[in-house]
Chain A
């Protein structure tokens, strides 16, 4: 069975899917990614599907699952590089890719991860301030 490599770039794990994955390979990738997120403490996962010429229900489900797993492990997932023909087909197939964030390319994906992390911190700060004001008589 082929295995999809996972690269670490700074605080981000980059997965560039270059092969037509068998279902087993897709499941393996899901497990490998979860382990790498925990092992590295990375807060972002970018899945580059530029080379994928189709996304069927199985791969679609894998992408959603990876996004959910990462969220639980405090990492953001962004899927980048979807081809136009793939997008058209996905919609007609009926796949909604719920909960998946997408960006045009790896660079935009990295920006999106960074922006999302920054927003999260702002939200946390905001909560703290609110807590302080209500606590002060």
Chain B
């Protein structure tokens, strides 16, 4: 069943680490409204925190678009992280636990993918990265 948007997305710019905090708060509010369980809220907010930080650090800043969605049976929250940064040359490598080019733990991308239900990535070297994640209520 295809997902239907419930209302217009909330857009949060990501230009500073205070904005990363704002993304977490926006995602939390939307997840509570969508009636996700506490554990699912926690997983989604954690994934969002990882991806927002990547958007800031590696993507050179961008946006997070948070939308409440439903697919006829259940509600969910979809987030799109977008930047016009350098893109990711080797996706397999980027998704390997422990791989980092920035001195992190290299868990952000792979961990975020494990924490959500749907994960989709578009990236082109020199153009940017766009990651869409969705978490559904159970």
| Chain A interfacial positions (CB closer than 8 Å to B) | 20-24, 53-58, 60-61, 83-86, 88-89, 92-95
Query: Given contacts A61-B104, A94-B97, A95-B105, is CB(A53)–CB(B42) below 8 Å?
Result: yes
Nearest CB of chain A from residue B122's CB, rounded to whole Å: 23
The yes or no answer to B43 lying at the interface (CB within 8 A) is yes
* Interchain CB contact under 8 A, A22 and B18: yes
In the complex, what's the smallest C-beta–C-beta distance from B137 to chain A, in angstroms? 15
Q: Are B115 and A89 in contact (CB under 8 A)?
A: yes
Pick from A53, A61, A84: contact of B105, CB under 8 Å: A61
The reply to whether A88 and B105 form a contact with Cβ atoms under 8 Å apart is no
Is there contact, CB below 8 Å, between A93 and B115? yes
For the complex of A and B, the 7 pairs showing the least CB-CB separation, nearest first, are: A93-B111, A85-B42, A56-B49, A23-B17, A22-B17, A85-B39, A54-B46
Residues 78-114 of chain B, each 1 if its beta carbon lies under 8 Å from chain A, else 0: 0000000000000000000100000011011011101
Known: A22-B20, A57-B50, A94-B110. A89 touches B43 (CB 8 A): yes
Tell me what chain B mostly uses at the interface: helix, strand, loop, or mixed. Answer: helix
Q: Say whether B45 contacts A54, CB under 8 Å.
A: yes
* Min CB–CB distance A65 → chain B (angstroms): 11
Tell me the smallest distance from the CB of B98 to a CB of chain A, in Å: 9
Interface stretch of the complex, out of B3-11, B21-29, B65-73, B123-131? B21-29
B33 within 8 A of A: no
Q: How far is the CA of A94 from the CA of B46 in the complex (A)?
A: 12
Q: Is the CB of A88 within 8 A of B110?
A: no
Flag if B45 contacts A53 (CB, 8 Å).
Answer: yes
Q: In the complex the two chains form, is A56's CB within 8 Å of B46's CB?
A: yes
- Cross-chain contact B111 with A94 (CB below 8 angstroms): yes
Residue pairs across A and B with Cβ atoms less than 8 A apart, 13 shown, are A22-B17, A53-B42, A54-B42, A57-B104, A57-B105, A58-B49, A61-B105, A88-B42, A89-B39, A89-B42, A92-B111, A92-B114, A93-B111
Chain B residues with Cβ below 8 Å from A54 are 24, 42, 45-46, 49
Nearest B residue to A95 via CB reads B107
A89 to B53, CA, bound (A): 18
Compute how far the CA of A54 lies from the CA of B112 in the bound complex, rounded to whole angstroms: 13
Cα distance, A60 to B53, chains bound together (Å):
14
Question: Is B121's beta carbon under 8 Å from chain A?
Answer: no
Contact, CB under 8 Å: A58 / B53: yes
Find out whether the CB atom of A86 lies under 8 angstroms from the CB atom of B104: no
